[in-house]
């Protein structure tokens, strides 16, 4: 079945540093990837949609200069949280949509970011 790998699963960083999270589709080509953010005990909120080879489309209220998304290949998208602050601490989840044949969205296991 379709598998999406997200790395790292947990990351702790100091305030002001940048953190990169990777999302890989392991056995299919992901034409579209989605990045979600989940606050504790809350639902997932879509941050942005990225299509391979083009600029990401950000949801209203999401700072594109702070959350840099790159989808340079059909199997990899990255989310970089720039100049991270404690309020950026959250659970980030990616999902991928592509030619897996399963015709469903496949989610990664998520990345827990803690900014000290």
Partner 1 sequence: AQSVTQPDIHITVSEGASLELRCNYSYGATPYLFWYVQSPGQGLQLLLKYFSGDTLVQGIKGFEAEFKRSQSSFNLRKPSVHWSDAAEYFCAVGAGGSQGNLIFGKGTKLSVKP
Note the residues at the interface with partner 1 (CB under 8 A).
4, 6, 32, 34, 42-46, 49, 91, 93, 95, 97, 103-105, 107-110, 112
Give the residue with the Cβ less far from partner 1, 15 or 42.
42
Give the residue with the Cβ less far from partner 1, 51 or 82.
51
CA distances from residue 108 to 24, 37, 87 in whole angstroms, order as listed: 8, 12, 22
CB of 47 to partner 1, least distance (A): 12
CB of 105 to partner 1, least distance (A): 5
CA 63 from chain centre, in angstroms, equals 14
Give the residue with the Cβ less far from partner 1, 104 or 116.
104
Give the residue with the Cβ less far from partner 1, 81 or 106.
106
Tokens, residue 76: 């990899």
Give the full edge-to-edge strand order of the sheet including 67-73.
Answer: 4-7, 19-25, 76-81, 67-73
Tokens, residue 21: 């999270």
CB of 88 to partner 1, least distance (A): 18
CB 47 within 8 A of CB 37: yes
């Amino acid at each position: 079945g379709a598998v999406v790998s997200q790395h790292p699963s947990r990351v702790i960083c100091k305030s002001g540093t940048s953190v990169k999270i990777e999302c890989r589709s392991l056995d299919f080509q992901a034409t579209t990837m989605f990045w979600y953010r989940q606050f504790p005990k809350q639902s997932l909120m879509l941050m942005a949609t990225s299509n391979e080879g083009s600029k990401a489309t950000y949801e209203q209220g999401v700072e594109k200069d702070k959350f840099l998304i790159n989808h340079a290949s059909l199997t990899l998208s990255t989310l970089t949280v720039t100049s991270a602050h404690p309020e950026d601490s959250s659970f980030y989840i990616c999902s991928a949509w592509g030619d897996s044949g399963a015709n469903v969205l496949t989610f990664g296991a998520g990345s827990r970011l803690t900014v000290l």
